[in-house]
């Protein structure tokens, strides 16, 4: 993978390999881990603009960061321009110079509220959202899908609208809303977006190896790639993509557990790290038995002891 910096607004991203926002997972510990392994930019889990405006405790917990993480982008979702602008101006987003607007989430609850991928069907509203958020003074980017279904592809026109409204970069997930996360990535649609605008275009979808990343760049002309589900199973994929040395799985796990304890209580840390251990053991010999033991662990100490016994 050929690496180069990307300029997003007045922020220079050191390389063109990014970690996608992943609901339920890209909180501070995983972001910091991926950043350490080479990710040029990481995104928070998507955060409700209304939740920010009305002081949701859960929403604010998603936005924990510190100077050790470095530059990070926040992702928000919503469908009301003034509320979206207010979210961008909220003190909890002060540490994040870049705010990304989610226009690709396929989850029915989000879609039915007119948010996420539903905005692909209302480009005028999507433009108004971007323009309102730009007024906040934040660097605004947009992540969107190529359309609702194969008969309603909107990529190039939507990309133009987002750039025209003031977006400093776009990320294009090369699947339609109805495909969720399955099916082939449509390279030609991402290429159309790249050819339609003069702002950075990040390609998203199907990156599980260095070869996948190289193919995505070669076939779309995109400025960079975004890694999503692969990072859940192996955060050190960023080592492979950037040439950063790998370390042991146990060391990685211990770091993530320590950083999760830094921001979460014992119960949450225990449950979350059990899930991460299950991801990290996929494909290993004895993985089923390991996961069964792990999900019976009832404390941080038990989780850590089992990880050390397995990955020593």
Beta-strand pair 73-77/17-19: unpaired
Q: Do residues 49 and 99 touch, judged by C-beta distance below 8 A?
A: no
Strand partners, 226: 18, 204
Query: Distance between CA atoms of 103 and 161, rounded to whole angstroms?
Result: 13
72 is catalytic: no
Cα–Cα distances in Å, from 137 out to 5, 80, 88, 164?
Answer: 23, 18, 8, 16
State the Cα–Cα distance between residues 123 and 118, nearest whole angstrom: 10
Number of alpha helices (DSSP H) and beta strands (DSSP E) in the chain: 15, 10
The one catalytic residue in 42, 88, 105, 264 is 105
Dihedral over Cα of 208, 210, 211, 217: its sign: positive
Which among 79, 102, 74 has a CA at the least distance from the CA of 89?
Answer: 74
DSSP bridge pairs for 184:
none
Annotated catalytic sites, by residue? 105
């Amino acid at each position: 993978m050929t690496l180069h910096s990307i300029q997003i607004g007045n922020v220079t991203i050191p390389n063109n390999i990014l970690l996608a926002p992943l609901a339920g997972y890209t909180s501070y510990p995983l972001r910091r881990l991926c950043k350490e392994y080479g990710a040029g930019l990481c995104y928070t889990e998507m955060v409700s603009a209304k939740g920010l405006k009305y002081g949701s405790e859960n929403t604010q917990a998603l936005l924990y960061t510190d100077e050790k993480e470095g530059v990070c982008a926040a992702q928000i979702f919503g469908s009301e321009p003034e509320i979206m602008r207010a979210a961008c101006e909220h003190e909890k987003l002060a540490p994040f110079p870049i705010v990304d607007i989610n226009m690709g989430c396929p989850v029915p609850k989000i879609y039915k509220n007119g948010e996420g991928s539903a905005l692909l069907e209302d480009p005028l509203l999507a433009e108004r959202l971007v323009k309102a958020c730009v007024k906040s003074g934040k660097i605004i980017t947009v992540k969107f899908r190529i359309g609702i279904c194969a008969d309603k592809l909107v990529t190039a026109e939507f990309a133009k609208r987002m750039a025209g409204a003031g977006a400093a970069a776009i990320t294009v997930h090369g699947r339609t809303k109805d495909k969720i996360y399955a099916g082939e990535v449509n390279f030609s649609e991402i290429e159309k977006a790249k050819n339609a605008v003069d702002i950075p275009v990040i390609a998203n979808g199907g990156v599980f190896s260095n070869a996948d990343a190289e193919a995505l760049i070669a076939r779309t002309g995109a400025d960079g790639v975004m890694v999503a589900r692969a990072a859940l199973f192996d955060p050190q994929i960023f080592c492979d993509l950037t040439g950063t040395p790998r370390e042991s799985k146990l060391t990685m796990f211990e770091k993530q557990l320590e950083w999760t304890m830094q921001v979460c209580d014992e119960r949450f840390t225990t449950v979350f790290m059990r899930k991460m251990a299950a991801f990290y053991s996929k494909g290993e010999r004895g993985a089923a038995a390991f996961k069964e033991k792990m999900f019976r662990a009832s404390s941080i100490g038990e989780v850590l002891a089992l990880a050390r016994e397995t990955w020593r």
